[in-house]
Amino acid sequence: MPNASKPVYLKLRDLIAAGIIDGSYPEGAMLPSVRAFAAEQGANPLTVAKAYQQFQLDGLVEVQRGVGMFVARGAADKLRRAERDAFLAVEWPAVRQRMDRLGIVPADLLAEG
């Protein structure tokens, strides 16, 4: 399981990123507070703050001091592109190798649907 060795703050980041991509947190929406998200996930608030800080550094959220963090315009598209590129560069080659070992061709996948 590739996610098992991933640091907690990156797992939390992935949860928020998925929410931005799927529209749970649309552009302009306020993200849950660090404390609220930490409580919801059973995580340390400092760990959540680290995940949120990465979004800020990547320009995916805008901070309004004393108010909260809001999803920046274009964040979903930017995240979707980054996730797609990472999948194609890192995950897909391993999936493709496994398919080859198991004798699975793309048409088999389409037939299963």
Tens digit of each residue's pLDDT (9 = 90 or more) over 21-48? 999 999 999 999 999 999 999 999 999 9
Using pLDDT thresholds of 50, 70 and 90, give the confidence band for residue 109.
confident
Binning the chain into helix, strand and coil, the percentages to the nearest 5 are 60, 10, 30
Report how far residue 83's alpha carbon sits from residue 80's, in angstroms, rounded to the nearest whole number.
5
Confidence bin at 78 (pLDDT 50/70/90): very high
d(CA 73, CA 85): 20
pLDDT reading at 68 higher than 60: yes
Q: How does DSSP assign 56-99, residue by residue?
A: HHTTSEEEETTTEEEEPTTHHHHHHHHHHHHIIIIIHHHHHHHH
- pLDDT of amino acid 3: 60
Fold for the domain defined by 8-112: Arc Repressor Mutant, subunit A (1.10.10)
Tokens (6 digits) for 4:
């098992």
Whether pLDDT at 113 is above 60: no
Would you kindly state where each structural domain of the chain is located, as residue ranges? 8-112
Full-prediction pTM beyond 0.75?
yes
